[in-house]
């Protein structure tokens, strides 16, 4: 593993696939111009609209998202994470897997993850979310992608951040970097987003890269924003605020080693 620059992209995706992918490409190019070799897109980067519309377009969204990620990886010679898009479930036309995909610079898909924790929550602001109505839960935490250049990368999506055992599993496999792409609700994000990200970084002594959705997507659907890159000590290296854009920070193996020597808590675990 070497030192390199990673980017987290922040978007305001809408119910318009073509426009979302166009916006994503502009932001990816901006990240690459700043030197990023590893780029993360948020959950729902390709489409963020009503559930019924998402399912109706899921096949097209999946096909074009996968093609887009491969094209971006090859065009810009980067490793890129598509942080979550619907992939239809076999013969089940009413559900899709919320899927994150990691693609390397040769256009090869090297890891994918189907979201296991589904957001079925009545938020105190009056909004009700029932992700399981259209999403099929995944069954497995994916194996790490072990890159000689970028380190060991672990995938997750949004609501997973509330389940520390998920990330402890990844850290036990040797994770160096945890991806947490999200479309965190505005109401919960203001209180929980930052502290949860920092906790996952600190307790696992890993870097966290958290691309995010921000602003109003449609009707009453608002996301919190504040995409972040956090170091293994819990220090916020970069934070995006509430506007669409790109943040870039260094992923440094020497820093990883330093923190793990100073705070070797993973070696002190009693209950595994």
Active centre residues (catalytic): 43, 115, 158
Residue 32 burial (C-beta neighbours within 10 Å; 0-12, 13-18, 19+): buried
Strand blocks (E) in 12-58: 38-40
Q: Cα(180)–Cα(195) distance, rounded to whole angstroms? A: 13
Q: Cα(36)–Cα(243) distance, rounded to whole angstroms? A: 20
191-225 burial string, b = 16+ CB within 10 Å, else e?
Answer: ebbbebbbbbbbebbbbbbbbbbbbebeeebbbbb
SS3 content of the chain, % helix, strand, coil (to 5): 35, 30, 35
Residue 74 burial (C-beta neighbours within 10 Å; 0-12, 13-18, 19+): middle
Q: Are 186 and 248 in contact (CB under 8 A)?
A: no
List the beta bridge partners of residue 210. 228
In which element (H, E) is residue 19 found? helix 17-33
């Amino acid at each position: 593993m070497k030192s390199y620059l990673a980017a987290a992209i922040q978007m305001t995706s809408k119910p318009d696939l073509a426009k979302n992918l166009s916006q994503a490409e502009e932001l990816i190019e901006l990240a690459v111009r700043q030197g990023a070799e590893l780029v993360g897109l948020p959950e729902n980067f390709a489409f963020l609209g009503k559930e019924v519309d998402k399912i109706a377009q899921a096949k097209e969204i999946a096909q074009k998202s996968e093609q887009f990620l491969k094209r971006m990886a090859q065009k810009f010679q980067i490793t890129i994470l598509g942080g979550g898009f619907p992939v239809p479930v076999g013969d089940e036309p009413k559900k899709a897997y919320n899927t994150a995909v990691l693609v390397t610079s040769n256009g090869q898909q090297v890891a994918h993850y189907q979201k296991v924790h589904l957001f079925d929550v009545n938020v105190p602001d009056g909004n009700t979310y029932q992700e399981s109505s259209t999403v099929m839960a995944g069954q497995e935490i994916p194996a790490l992608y072990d890159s000689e250049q970028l380190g060991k990368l672990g995938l997750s999506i949004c609501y997973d951040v509330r389940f520390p055992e998920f990330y402890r599993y990844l850290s036990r496999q040797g994770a160096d970097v945890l991806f947490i792409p999200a479309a965190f609700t505005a109401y919960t994000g203001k209180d929980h987003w930052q502290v949860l990200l920092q906790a996952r970084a600190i307790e696992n002594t890993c870097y966290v890269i958290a691309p995010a959705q921000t602003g109003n997507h449609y009707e009453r659907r608002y996301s919190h924003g504040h995409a972040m890159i956090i170091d293994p000590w819990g220090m916020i290296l970069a934070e995006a605020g509430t506007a669409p854009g790109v943040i870039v920070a260094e992923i440094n193996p020497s820093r990883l080693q330093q923190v793990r020597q100073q705070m070797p808590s993973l070696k002190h675990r009693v209950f595994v």
